[in-house]
Amino acid sequence: MVWKRKHMYSNYYHILQIPETAKIQDIKSAYRRLAKKFHPDLNKSPDAQEQFILVNEAYEFLIRINTVQTRPVNHTRTRPTKEQAYKQWVDHERAKARARAAREAKKKFEQFKKSSIYKTTQAIYHYYDFFSIGIGILIIIASLAGLFVDYHSKEGIQLNHVIAAVFLSFLGTLFIMFSVSSIKYRNNQKNK
């Protein structure tokens, strides 16, 4: 019975890279080491947050399983077997640990959003977007001014000048569209 129970959660020992005979102190030190390694603020790997959540889940579960000796009782009409009750408890504890780990990862990012570094980069993006909108408007005005000058010249408007003006107007419009979409995206992120 004990072997089966340990086998059910041996994956958590594997996640923390410790043997199944590890003591609480070993679990805590492995957690601290891996939490630093996978913390989303420190590790820029695409799967760092998921790894961080798994490490937190494993830690929460193993600490609870090694310190809590009692399991909740299911108060339904039919009493579950010991194995069913244990599996329900394991699933419940796993879900709680995962939820706590996800909250912790989100909390760290929320703290980062309040930092001066984050606010400075957002301000730089903001100014960059308005600068790009200005460049786009200037490109469109310059292309139209070129056509106006051509119209009043002796040769008149030439086809290659019209094509250049259309291309430049399109380029200016792209500058404006990308900048506006960037501003909208950041405003949506700020409102979340």
Angle formed at CA 132 by CA 131 and CA 133, multiple of 5 degrees? 90
Whether residues 130 and 148 share a domain: the answer is yes
Dihedral angle sign, alpha carbons of residues 17, 18, 24, 30:
negative
Dihedral angle sign, alpha carbons of residues 158, 161, 166, 169:
negative
Whether residues 23 and 48 share a domain: the answer is yes
Q: Which domain holds residue 72?
A: 2-113
Whether residues 86 and 135 share a domain: the answer is no
Q: What is the pTM of this model?
A: 0.43
pLDDT at 82: 67
Between 86 and 150, the more confident residue is: 150
* pLDDT tens per residue, range 50-102: 888 888 888 888 887 776 544 444 444 565 676 777 788 888 888 888 888 77
Whether residues 130 and 151 share a domain: the answer is yes
Count of structural domains within the chain: 2
pLDDT at 22: 86
Angle formed at CA 140 by CA 137 and CA 144, multiple of 5 degrees? 140
Of 84, 113, 142, the last residue of a domain is 113
Residue 4's pLDDT band, with cuts at 50, 70 and 90, is very low
